[in-house]
Every structure is written in C-alpha cells, then in structure tokens.
Structure 1
Amino acid sequence: MSKLNKDILFLIFEELQDNSKFLFSCLMVNRIWCETVVPILWRNPWRYAINYYKKNSLYSIITSYLSNDIKESLTKKGVKITGQSLVFDYLSFCKSINIKTIDDIISIGSSSEYNQFLLQEEIYSFLIKKCPEIKYLNICDTYEIVYLPEARVRLESLCELTCDTMIDSRYFYRLAHICQQIQRIIIINRNLKANDGTTKLIELQKNLKYFRWIDEFDDDDDDYWERLEDPYTEVFNMLKKHANTLNHFDINLRYEYDDYSDYYDIYDECNYTFLQYALLELHNLETLEINSPIFLNNDDFNKKLEMVAYRNLEILKIDFIDCYQINCMVKNSLCLRELRINAFHWNYDNFYNDSLNFIRTICEYCLLIEYLTIPVFPSLEKHFIEFEKLLKKCQKLRSLNFKETYYEEGKELEFGDYLSNVLIREASTNLREIRIPYNIKFSLKTLETFLEKWKGRPAVSMYLEEAYFYRENNSYMKLFDQYKIEGVIKNINV
C-alpha cells in the first residue's frame, strides 16, 4: 500500500478525513504519504480532537507567518515567538477559521490580554489573506474578522457557519451581506432575547440545506426560564422560506420541568408552536432530530400533521412524542431507515388503536427500516399478528428497541415468551441488537430456548432493562456467559 501513487492515496485519505488518528499516523510513513495527507489535514485543521491549548507546535507554525518586524515588535512586548522553518506552506491549504480554537492557540504566546489582542490582530489579518477561500467559519467568541478588507473575497464562498446568538446583530448583518451561499448553519443559542441578525442571515441564504440549533444557557442562571423572551419564533418562521432546500433539521431546546407537580404540565405552560408549525412546512427533510417538549396538546397541529408527507425522510430522532403523531409523520416515509424515539406519550383511551396503527404503518411504508423504536403494545392477538407481518416485511432491520408504554402487570413473562418465539420465526438475519424494557421479561427456559435457536445467525447484542430480575438469579448470568463464549451473544447489558 505504501507504493500507491498520489492520486489513489488522496482518494483513500479523502474517504478517511474524519479519522484523525489514522491521518496523523500517515504523516510518518514516507514523504509521499506525508505530502498527500498534509493538505487534507490542513483543510480544516481545527476540527480534530486535539488539545490545542497545549500544542506549542501549532502556535509556532502560525506565528512563523508573521513578518520579522512584527515578530521583533511583539517579542519586545513580552510575547513568546519561536522561530521555525516550515516544510510545507500549511496555511495555503487551509479553508477554515475557528475563532475559539485559534484564540486558545494564541493564548500560548502570552497571558496578557493586551498582548493576546495584538496577536489576534496580526494573525487574523494574515490568515484572511493567506487562506485562498474560507469554506468553514466558526465565530463563537467572535473576533471582528468579517470587517477585514479581504473578508468579502475570502468569505463569499462560505459553506458552513457556526455562531452563537450573543454576537452583535451588526456582525450578522455584515455576514449576511457577504455570504449568501451557506449550506450549513449551526447556531449556539445563549441569548434570552431574539437576535435579529441571525434571522437576517438565514433569510438571505440561497441554498440552505442543514440547520442546527442548540440551547446553551448559563447553568448557573437559575431564573433564566422566567427571563426568556422568545429567541426562537422569528428564526423558525424564517426557516420555512427554505423548505425546498432544507434537508437536515436538528433542534435541541432546553426546557425545565423539575418544579412541575405533573411532568406533562410543561406542555400547557410553555408555547412551542414556533417549532411545530415550522415542521409542517419542511416537507423535503431527510434527517429530523428534535429534543424538546413540542408535540402535545395541540389539536390544530395534529389535523395539519395528518396532511404532511415527509417522503424523503431517512432519519427521525425525537426525544418525546405522542404515538398518534409519530404515526402521522412516518406514514408515506418510504425512505425511512432510522426511527429513534426516547419516550412515547400515549392516551390510554386511544392506545389500542394508536399502537396497532403504528405497527401497520411501519409494516406498510417502512420496508427499508434498519433501526426501529416501537412501543410495548397490548398482548392481544391483532397486535401480535401485525407485529409478525412487520418482521416479515422489514428484512433490513438491524436494531429493535422496545420502549415502555402499555403495562399489563403479571403478563411480563407471557410477553417475553411470545416475543422470543416470533423473533426466532420471523426476524431477519440482519437483526443484531434487541433492547427490552421492564414491561417484558424472559423466563430462564424461554431465554435458553431463544439463544439456542439463535445459533447460526450473527451474534446479537441484548440490553435488558430489568437488571435485578436477571442478576438476582445466578443461572441467568451463567447462561449469558455460556452463549457469549459460543458466539451467540455479542454483548449483554443487564
């Protein structure tokens, strides 16, 4: 492999660009490998899992680009400058600026805030000149790089922006004026109020494909909830404009419920309609990840959700959702590969029909499903029949994750007997992982029969939530050890 030509090596390294351990090891193979991998590593050097604060070599590389006059001037002010000749023109490959990481590197030179400011001015000035074009920009803890003379030329081809909402709106206005081809926007929200600049930035984009919003309020601010002034609605209303291009939507909203006497009271107290109604418009999504209390107690939203078809949806991850609503979202999702739900909400009066319809919907529309979260359903003949049909049709299924919902006390072992039998009869040989909550238990005999009949298939990983039920009987633990040795069980978690 060490004799492969540069073109082949480059293609291989491109495919492995996220594997920093591998890429760094390639630097030491020979000169050709080194010359080939350096441009890939330096395209976006700040992305890798490195403690940059302690990397004096990176500081030396960056400061080596300073002119001799600047170096001499900074040295006189007490800034540590180490002379170093460079084997490569590293920054000529760079297409990324990460303000926070670079500032950490700069701080190696001096503990003085004033000296760090001087270094920032000089380093960002030559960075914006030296980098041929900036594709990735992270301006959390911002330095006013967008006002440098070369910013317009270097930033107009920006593809990915990470920013936080504490930045002055005028900074965003400037970015919005320069950068209108951003495809990925990641917003860290630390602002209790709306930032009009972020809304304008989103509005002016012409090909926005990826949007991620993460709430990161101060953990020491105990009363932030009372002072929150809706930093969301304007932004999420503007996202509807990008419904034709947006294919990745990842939202993580912080919410509090510790002080509520009933967990579900939060849905009546807090208004999350800005997100609900944005979702109704985003019909071209391929990936949808939601961590927020959004999907309850809104009949108008439910009626409109029935009419939406997410035909391109491949990955759906939601923290908490009603069984009826997830059924609406999954319906017509012929491309769905992953359905990951942390918890289901259910109405006992409707759960019989909702759970049955959910199983039927997966069976009818989600034949490509690989990872499936499913509520524990009533142990009734109709549900069992439909679940068997699901297993027969979903032959790509790799992971089956049951979530505690419907609970019939005293029938836990009965459900375990049924489940083990139907998995042996109907489950695809692709199934590699099974997660079982406390609502379902396996008797020792049932579990032994299941594992014995699983022989010949790929090893299975099992996660059994009711740990004490299995641990209190040493016979279970011996059984697990035996079938791990025989290669039937890959991992067991009890």
Structure 2
Amino acid sequence: MASNLPHLCLRKIFKFLSNDKNDTYILRRKNIHSCVLTNRYWCEMAIPFLWKEPFTGSLNSIKSIILVNVLIINFSEQELKSLNLNSILKKHNKTTFDYIKFIRTLIVNAVIEATAFWLQNNPNISNECPIANNLLKKIILNASNLEHIISNSNINVFKFPISKNYFSNLVELTGFDEGISGIYSSISKVAENIKILRFSLTNNHITNSNTVNDISKIIKNQKNLQHFSVDNRLNCYCCSQEYSSLDFTSIFFSLTTQSKSLRYIGLYDINFFSNFPLKQLTLFDNLNHLEITRCYNFGIELNFNQFNSNISFKTLNRITIYYSAIPSNILKYILSKSGKSLKKIKLIGNEVMENFHDLIQHCIIYNSNLSHFLSFIHSNEILLLPKFFKSCQFLKHFEIWDINYSSNIINNNQLLDKLINIDDNLLLNISESIPSNLKIFNIIMNWSFSTIYFDYFLKNLENFNIHLDYLGFPFCSNFTNDHLELIIKNLNYPLKCLNIRNANNIKYDNVERSSKFVKNLVVPNNIRRFVEYDKYFYDIINQNSF
C-alpha cells in the first residue's frame, strides 16, 4: 500500500513533485498539499516540501497575514515580549510543526512585504516594530538547510551578527543589488559553497568603487561554482554613462579560478571595452552553456593562436546570443571549436548576423550534432538548407528569421517588405532531406512557393514518416487558400500548431475546416477567433523548448 512506502521512496516522490518544472508553482504546491492530506505518515514526510519556499509566488495581503501569523506563533515568549507582541501568545496556540525550520528559499523582499501587510492588519502594533528583521534572523538561525537566498531589498541579511556556519548549506544566491550597502563584501565572508551565483546591478546607482573587486572575491572564495551570471543593466535617466558601463575584466579573470566546475556563464548588458574575454572562456573544461545578452564593444583584434585549441569549448552544448553584435570571427571560432558537442544554437537579433554570411555553411562543416537551431540568417543562405539538413540529422527544432526583420518596428506583425521567391526544386530538396525527428519547422521569412511543390513537400513529409508538431510560415504573404487546402488534404497526423498569421488570401471556410485537424491555428486578425491557445503554443512562441 502507498501508506507503507519506505521513507526514501516518499522523499523522492515529494521531491519530484515539488521540483517539477513542467508545472507552475501553484500546481506544484497543490500536488504536495494533496499528499499532506493523505494520512499522518505522508503529512510528516510532505510538510517540509510544502514549506520549503513559502514566500515564492504571488502573496496578497490575506496570504501574507496568515503566513506571518503561522511563522511568528513559534517565536519564544522572550522574543515576542521584546517585540511587544505578547498578545500573539494569547490569540494562538503553538503549531504542530515549526515551519521556519523547513524553509529552503528565502526571498528577502517578500518577507518585508508580507510583514508590512501584517502590520497594517494589526493597527495596535507600532509600524516601527522590527518584525521583518527579526523574522529574517529567525529564518536564517533556524533554517539550517537554507539553500537559496534572493536578496532584492535594502536589508543586508549577511550582516546579521550570526555565524557563517548558518550559510554552510547555501548553494544559490540571486538578485543582489549594489543598492544594499556592503552586500558584496559581506557575502564573500560568509558563503563559500555556492553553486549558482546570479548578480544583478539593475536600476541602482553605483556608489561603491569596490563593487567589481568584491564580486571577484566572492567568485574566488567558492569551492564548486557551476552557474554564474551578471546583469549590468544600470542605465537610468539620472545616472551618468560612466556608472552604467562598469569594467568587469577582473571578474572574468576571477572566473578562471572556477575553470574545472563552471558549466554556465551568462553575461547581460556588458560593455567589454573592446576586450571580450574569449581567452578566459577557452579555459573552462566543462562549460556547457554560454549566454550573451545585449552586450557590446567586443573588439575584433584577437590572436587565436594564443588559445589552447585542444581545450577550447570542447564541452559546449549550447550557445545563446541575444541582440549582441558579436564579431563573426569570434562566433566562428566558438562554433568551430565546440564542434559536435554543440547541440543548441540560438542567435536572436539581426545585429548578431550582420557580418556573418555563411553561418549555415559553418554549421554544416563543424556542428553536425545540432538538435536545436534558431537564428537570423541572410536570405541567400536558404540555398544551403538541403545540405544543412543532411548534415544535421538530429535536428528537432529548426527556425530561421530574415536578417531584414527588426524587433524594433512599431508593428512587429507586419510583413517583411522583401519577398523571397524560393526555387521550387529547393523546396522539394528540403523535404527530401529533413531529419526524421524534426518536430518544429518555422520560417520567419516572406517565402513565396508554388502549390505544386508545396504539395510535394507535404507528401514527402508523410512518405518519410516525418510528423511535425509545429509548422510555421507566419510571414509568407503569398500563402493562399490553395496552400491551406493542401494541408487539409495531406494531413494524416494532427498538427499541434500551424502558424500562417499573415496569409491574407485564405478563406473563412477553409480556416474553419482546418481548425478541426490543427489544435492551434494562427491566422490573420480578421479570423483570429478560431485560434485556440494552450501551453504547447506558448512554449513554441517563447522558445521554451530551448
């Protein structure tokens, strides 16, 4: 019987339910809460998982008041008296569990907001009552297995007069802002077992000139850092430019002290001052994912001969670049050295491909094990697609964007001006070379192709037993009612999504008919009422499959 499952089995089950990334936070809590109600044995086992992150999610005033009440009930009599909260003792009995001990994730700002709601609901208690500070201290002192701290407030929890032993199990730090006085120097003194470290310098004024040096010290002090990201989005109307462009050179050098353990590096809004740290990046033996977002001033004068080509990017599985004008020689080097280990390429923004006219050819030569490919490309590169597909037979997700498309246009649903007349034989060759496991085929270009060869394309997909989940031609203005008729005629398996949102020549009746065979049909605005949105559709649009 389920009630007699061994302790370790139940722990694994509850851990899986509480960490299931396919579910929302609310659904995960509901699943665990159902387990709590099963019986006493399950309750005792599941409660720690239900209470590991009570301040995560949306906390309204009612939830906040209830949560704070539950947590402070188990304050000692002396602690309550020191806060002038003696009345709490009279109103409530002690809870069955001391829930504070189960907390694994501490969101500092959420604690402050929750206690503010609680004070508003208790007008007899002074607003000056330091309930927030005391609750934070209590959580740190009693949550011996505290694993994750998200510090996005003006309270520096690392300055509390407590031993560094209380942070011995801390493995993740997120959202530390320089607006918190001395936060970085405090962290470097108490935390040394961090695996995931995310710094954010967003929306505050840099007043401490030692910020970068303090971050470097934190990095060097870690024993097994695996995930590092830094966000330098300091731009605001009242800051001068020198404050919004910090030099992170010393941080890049300090990261090399973690060369054996680092698996992910994320760089956001960084000015490299013409000194992109490619040499440092080549030293990471186990780097799995490199992400570069809105960065600039990379510099292009690099001596590649000084790098150890036997090590460089040999384990790189995934590269993601957003809106960053990375020089083509740097990107080519990374792609060529990562070789067959590279599985996912995501290059968003036409500035990424501005000077890179042979991306597809480069991947054909070096990156034959790709499973996911999303990139802006030059229109003449579509001629290489049959060779690309033949080379990359493990592809599951393929998406290309026209280099002329700009995300900055006022109406980003408007058609691309340049119509690309695709050679009919090319479309046929593409269908004959598409990898058998391909699930997503999305063309963000204004392709024009005949119905005759589109019919061949669809028939070949069926002949080669290729069952797409998502078929997208959202910018193909010449996609007609006859094209849609062919999909209805040849579709022998259910499509999860068909995106033809700018196909203005299709008819109402055909859209209605096709909606019976396609779960999500994205069509022009005048008949958009036939669109059904579900989780899969949003996953595709938001590229969560990457």
Q: TM bucket by the smaller chain?
A: 0.7 to 0.9
Bigger mean CA offset, 133-142 vs 81-90: 81-90
Pairing partner for 1:474 from 483, 505, 530: 505
Q: CA RMSD in A?
A: 3.8
Pairing partner for 1:24 from 13, 30, 41: 30
1:83 aligns with 2:96: no
CA distance in 1, matches of 2:97, 2:353: 64
Structure 2, unmatched stretches of 5+, are: 406-415, 480-501, 525-546
CA drift of 1:187 comes to: 0.5
1:250 aligns with 2:266: yes
Tell me the TM-score normalised to structure 2 length: 0.73
> Residue by residue, what CA displacement relative to the aligned partner does 1:245-295 show, whole Å, maximum 9, x if unpaired?
21111122178xxxxxxxxxxxxxx82525555435445310111102337
Pairing partner for 1:43 from 52, 65, 80: 52
Paired residue type of 1:164: D
1:209/1:245 contact within 8 Å kept:
yes
1:340/1:372 contact within 8 Å kept:
yes
2:439/2:469 contact within 8 Å kept:
yes
Paired residue type of 1:359: I
1:151 aligns with 2:154: no
Bigger mean CA offset, 191-200 vs 125-134: 191-200
1:80/1:110 contact within 8 Å kept:
no
SS in structure 2 opposite 1:373?
strand
Paired residue type of 1:185: L
Alignment correspondent of 1:429: 436
> Structure 1 residues 367, 82: CA separation in 2 closer, same or farther (over 3 Å shift)?
farther
Paired residue type of 1:152: K
CA drift of 1:24 comes to: 2.2
1:134 aligns with 2:135: no
1:462 aligns with 2:476: no
CA distance in 1, matches of 2:273, 2:60: 41
SS in structure 1 opposite 2:139?
helix
Residue pairs, 1:73-222, within 5 angstroms: 74=83, 83-111=92-120, 115=127, 118-162=130-174, 163-169=176-182, 171-190=183-202, 191-192=205-206, 194=209, 195=211, 196-217=213-234, 219=236, 221=237
SS in structure 2 opposite 1:236?
helix
> Residue by residue, what CA displacement relative to the aligned partner does 1:45-102 show, whole Å, maximum 9, x if unpaired?
33x4232654122111211122234435645699999625423222222233221121
CA distance in 2, matches of 1:166, 1:30: 46
SS in structure 2 opposite 1:102?
helix
Alignment correspondent of 2:395: 397
Paired residue type of 1:42: W
Paired residue type of 1:233: T
Pairing partner for 1:485 from 516, 525, 542: 516
CA distance in 1, matches of 2:386, 2:245: 49
SS in structure 2 opposite 1:110?
helix
SS in structure 1 opposite 2:134?
helix
> Residue by residue, what CA displacement relative to the aligned partner does 1:354-412 show, whole Å, maximum 9, x if unpaired?
51xx33442344333221124545658xx74x543331242221111112238999871
Pairing partner for 2:313 from 301, 310, 315: 310
SS in structure 1 opposite 2:118?
coil
Alignment correspondent of 2:537: none
1:306/1:328 contact within 8 Å kept:
no
1:341 aligns with 2:372: no
> Structure 1 residues 281, 165: CA separation in 2 closer, same or farther (over 3 Å shift)?
farther
CA drift of 1:210 comes to: 0.8
CA drift of 1:176 comes to: 1.5
1:448/1:479 contact within 8 Å kept:
no
SS in structure 1 opposite 2:246?
coil
1:230 aligns with 2:233: no
Paired residue type of 2:506: S
> Structure 1 residues 365, 227: CA separation in 2 closer, same or farther (over 3 Å shift)?
closer
CA drift of 1:35 comes to: 3.1
> Structure 1 residues 449, 167: CA separation in 2 closer, same or farther (over 3 Å shift)?
same
Paired residue type of 1:466: F
SS in structure 2 opposite 1:300?
coil
Bigger mean CA offset, 451-460 vs 431-440: 451-460
Paired residue type of 2:374: T
> Structure 1 residues 322, 80: CA separation in 2 closer, same or farther (over 3 Å shift)?
farther
CA drift of 1:12 comes to: 2.3
> Structure 1 residues 8, 157: CA separation in 2 closer, same or farther (over 3 Å shift)?
closer
1:414 aligns with 2:422: yes
Alignment correspondent of 1:260: none
SS in structure 2 opposite 1:474?
coil
CA distance in 1, matches of 2:507, 2:449: 10
Alignment correspondent of 1:366: 367
SS in structure 2 opposite 1:17?
helix
CA distance in 2, matches of 1:174, 1:336: 38
CA distance in 2, matches of 1:396, 1:33: 43
> Structure 1 residues 294, 282: CA separation in 2 closer, same or farther (over 3 Å shift)?
farther
Tell me the TM-score normalised to structure 1 length: 0.80
CA drift of 1:344 comes to: 4.7
Alignment correspondent of 1:330: 335
CA distance in 1, matches of 2:284, 2:388: 28
> Structure 1 residues 245, 117: CA separation in 2 closer, same or farther (over 3 Å shift)?
farther
CA drift of 1:199 comes to: 2.5
Structure 1, unmatched stretches of 5+, are: 256-269
Paired residue type of 1:45: P
> Residue by residue, what CA displacement relative to the aligned partner does 1:167-220 show, whole Å, maximum 9, x if unpaired?
333x4333312222211111011344641322221222222111011234365x
2:195/2:225 contact within 8 Å kept:
yes
2:3/2:42 contact within 8 Å kept:
no
CA distance in 1, matches of 2:72, 2:426: 64
